Structure 1
Amino acid sequence: MKTKKEPELPKLCECLNELLALELSRGNRISHFNNQARWPHPDTHYVLLINDLSTEFKDLKFSQNISHQICRDPHYGWHDECECRVHHDLLCAGSTKPF
């Protein structure tokens, strides 16, 4: 008898998981994720959200651990790029905007 396989869930560090949970509670959705991205660091987990971020970073418990920048390189395709300085996980969101 086959057992039903549980769907894989994104695995982000606690620093970025707080941001992910807030974004999801505000209606943002996961486009895709990779729990074994291994980029930009060998231990990186990666999540891409459909919409740009709406969370104020100053309100996050782990804001000091998150590096946030706007990505203008259409090669990557996302707008917000958040990398955990401690765990090296990556949460990106939205789509690259034209200049």
Structure 2
Amino acid sequence: MSIVHVTTKKELREHLNTKKVVLLNFWAEWCGPCKMLAGVLNQLSEEFSGKIKIIKVNVEKSPDIAAEYKVMGIPNSRLIIHNKSYEPIIGYVPFEKLKQMIRV
């Protein structure tokens, strides 16, 4: 499954309307740790193909969405399972640790 990039609240709502586990990631192009995490997200996308949905939100292009989720620093990710958002995952997280958190 590919990684989805959203820029509007409407797009986000449409993509959150799923029975799959969602990993919502807030990032920016200039952010070094975000670039490192992008590789991990690509690995997760391949490993859990069809089982999870990864949604990326660029905080500079969609500050309204970032504000709604109270994003104060990036990278900032959230696991959303059965429409329940869990505690933010702040900063870079290695593949194996993130994989354990997903538990699909």
TM exceeding 0.5: no
TM-score normalised to structure 1 length: 0.34
Determine which structure has more spread, i.e. the larger CA radius of gyration.
Answer: 1
Greater helix proportion = 2
Bigger relative contact order, structure 1 or 2, given CA contacts below 8 A and separation 6+?
A: 2
